[in-house]
Amino acid sequence: MTARAQGDHTTMQQVSCTECLAKVQVRKTAWEQTSIQWTGEALELCRERPACPSGGMPRDQFVGCETLRAALRDATARGSLVLAEPAAR
């Protein structure tokens, strides 16, 4: 996991899925708030992403990966996914 700039309130950190090894960029601002940026490569690697539209959900409306969510929770609990600093007011 890498951080763009230490102390930067917009810091994104890299997290890998434990199942397919897809790498996403994550910004965690609180236990309850996590922003995830998926790359095209990560979307293709994800094993939980639907291979084709089903149930009226187009391929580009992927809602997320449970295995990645677990990896994010574990990284946060271990302290390796650091909470971003709040923006200066």
Per-residue pLDDT tens for 15-68?
999 999 999 999 998 888 999 999 989 988 998 876 555 556 555 566 778 999
| Cβ-contact 20, 46 below 8 angstroms | yes
| pTM for the model | 0.70
Q: How far apart are the first and last CA of the chain?
A: 28
Report DSSP letters for the chain, one per residue.
Answer: --BSSTT-TT--EEEE-TTT--EEEEEEEETTEEEEE--HHHHHH-SSS-SS-BTTB-GGG----HHHHHHHHHHHHHT-SPBPPPPP-
